[in-house]
Amino acid sequence: MIESFNAAGDKPFNVSVNKFADLTHEEFKKFYLVSFLNYESTTAVSDSLDWRVRNGVTLVREQGPNCGSCWSFSALAAVESSYLLKYGDPYDLSEQQLMECDYTDHNRACNMGYMTEAYDYIIANGGVTTEQNYPYVAGRQYCDRIKAAQPVAQLAYYQLVPPNSEAALIQAVNMARICWP
């Protein structure tokens, strides 16, 4: 099929077998696509919600005046709060690990980043370690793979809130902590 498609020559590209070729549609969705929150199938929401009262907020952190690492703080604040709500134990996770080990075209340590890519890194790495183990220095040095290989908090998946949907955002806030780009 591939050979005949390429031999036809009527397209400005060729096709070939790649790492996605033998995945089912469901496998591809599970491993490579992000799901959106299905707010229509969830429970009713409360009129008022204060996560501080429900012990769902971690300590306020400081990124420093000369480092735009808010993406790592935002991503980990949501993970820390989720762990706090689920297990009752506060975790102080390492923003520095994300800044140094998740350094990509989109995540550039002090020069911006995306929470979704931080979550993808946490999932692929098998988790993230503590701030105590991998302290924040408000700058990029190098990825300490030994420290990064000592995760204490894992992330199985994350969901995006559908854009332009106040109902979905309200549902998401009632279910768990969210981060905002």
Instruction: Give the model's confidence band at 175: pLDDT under 50 very low, under 70 low, under 90 confident, else very high.
Output: confident
User: Considering only 73-87, 124-138, 143-157, which range has the smallest mean pLDDT?
Assistant: 73-87
Mean pLDDT in residue range 72-96: 91
- Can you give the residue ranges of every domain in the chain? 39-175
**What pLDDT does 45 receive?**
76
pTM of the model: 0.74
Computed over every residue of the chain, the mean pLDDT equals 86
Tell me, what amino acid is at 98? L
Q: Report yes or no: 148 and 101 within 8 Å, Cβ to Cβ.
A: yes
Top-confidence residue, 134 or 29: 134
CB count within 10 Å of CB 22 equals 8
Q: Report yes or no: 42 and 171 within 8 Å, Cβ to Cβ.
A: yes
**What pLDDT does 164 receive?**
84
**What pLDDT does 74 receive?**
92
Collapse the DSSP code of 33 into the 3-class scheme (helix H, G, I; strand E, B; otherwise coil) and give the result.
Answer: coil
Rg (CA), the chain: 20
**What pLDDT does 180 receive?**
65
For residue 145, give the nearest of 130, 156, 134 by alpha carbon.
134
Is residue 144's pLDDT more than 90? yes
Domain 39-175 fold: Cathepsin B; Chain A (3.90.70)
Top-confidence residue, 118 or 26: 118
Mean pLDDT in residue range 1-8: 86
